[in-house]
Structure 1
Amino acid sequence: MSNVVETVKELVEPILESHSFYLFDVEFVKENKSYYLRVYIDKPGGITIDDCVLVSDELSEKIDALPEDPIPEAYFLEVSSPGAERPLRNEKELKEAINEYIHVSLFKKLNGEKAYEGTLLSVNDDDIKLQINDAKQTVLEVPRELIAKSRLAIKF
């Protein structure tokens, strides 16, 4: 299955570059009895439905034009945005989220809690700083080794 993902990445990158989009992720998964090829794309300011349709059409044409089908199973192609609450998967994405509202899940409790939401103020090798939206506008230092997952969050 990783061969499918790599092939699709190679096919979709030039399409995305030509429209000033970028690739967030590609996955090829089986859910119940169906296969899904999911391509997550983004651009500054966000992706529209028309952007997804454009990339889906162009990618489908490229896949169909290959001499040998890289995906022998029947599958559904889904092109979408990674979403408003997209995961922050690596150092680069975490640093790009500075001044954004995020959610962090922890491996173990910190100050009695295993999850926090707040504005990401800074990122370094040892910790991240979050401004928590409590009455005091507390700045919380979260050790990096405690962070299980992080993602953008919607502030209510």
Structure 2
Amino acid sequence: MKKITELTAELAAPAIAEAGCTLWDVEYVREAGTWYLRVLLDKEGGVDILDCEAVSRKLSDLLDEADPIEGSYTLEVGSAGAERALKRPGDFQRYLGSPVLVKLYRNRDGRKEFAGYLKAYDEATGAVTVTVGNQELTFEKKDVALVRLRVEF
């Protein structure tokens, strides 16, 4: 049986393409006792509320038909956002040189967060290298809780 996130991605694909968007991620998470099915979109020039509404309406009907989820949940369709999380190897390759924030599970040099520029990603090990100031720091996959883009002003 396919995961809920995989099935949702498949069901959403035609509606997402019709809206001129691409799928960034699908999450199925429990927060404060409520299950959320989140579909995050990307689009050249940015995702707007009309894109989200169009995908949400079509996907909601398809999910009602397929009924892959037992129990209640909240469907959210939105933009991946300017400070989106990088998860897949392709995400890291696409944003090489971009400003990022790396969050760690445990302190390193007295802190858990490092803001810098994405220098490299090792697909074999999942290690991320970030230029922080004048240093290049490499973080092993097992130590990294989150890597997300960072907006600079």
TM-score using structure 2 length: 0.76
Task: Decide which of 140, 144, 147 is 1:145's aligned counterpart.
Answer: 140
1:40-51 → structure 2 map (5 Å cutoff): 40-51=40-51
Cα contact 2:40–2:79 (8 A) shared by 1: yes
Counterpart secondary structure, 1:95: helix
Which consecutive residues of structure 2, in runs of 5 or more, have no partner in the other structure?
none
User: In the TM superposition, what is the alpha-carbon distance from 1:94 to its structure 2 partner?
Assistant: 1.3
> d(CA) in 1 for partners of 2:29 and 2:128?
34
Cα contact 2:15–2:54 (8 A) shared by 1: no
Match of 2:24 in 1: 24
User: In the TM superposition, what is the alpha-carbon distance from 1:10 to its structure 2 partner?
Assistant: 1.3
> d(CA) in 2 for partners of 1:56 and 1:26?
13
Counterpart secondary structure, 1:47: coil
User: In the TM superposition, what is the alpha-carbon distance from 1:127 to its structure 2 partner?
Assistant: 5.7
Matched, 1:8 2:3: no
> d(CA) in 2 for partners of 1:144 and 1:34?
33
User: In the TM superposition, what is the alpha-carbon distance from 1:24 to its structure 2 partner?
Assistant: 1.7
Q: 1:8 to 1:56 in 2, by over 3 A?
A: same
Cα contact 1:102–1:150 (8 A) shared by 2: yes
Cα contact 2:22–2:42 (8 A) shared by 1: yes
User: In the TM superposition, what is the alpha-carbon distance from 1:43 to its structure 2 partner?
Assistant: 1.4
Instruction: Give the aligned CA root-mean-square deviation in angstroms.
Output: 2.7
Cα contact 1:127–1:141 (8 A) shared by 2: no
Matched, 1:77 2:75: yes
> For the pair shown, which has the larger CA radius of gyration, 1 or 2?
1
TM-score using structure 1 length: 0.75
Q: % of aligned pairs identical?
A: 36
Cα contact 1:101–1:119 (8 A) shared by 2: yes
1:79-134 per-position Cα deviation (integer Å, ceiling 9, x unaligned): 01122221111322112112321112345525x654321233x31537624253xx
Match of 2:151 in 1: 154
1:35-93 per-position Cα deviation (integer Å, ceiling 9, x unaligned): 322111111222111111111011122223x2x52234232211011222211113221
> d(CA) in 1 for partners of 2:32 and 2:117?
38
Which consecutive residues of structure 1, in runs of 5 or more, have no partner in the other structure?
133-137
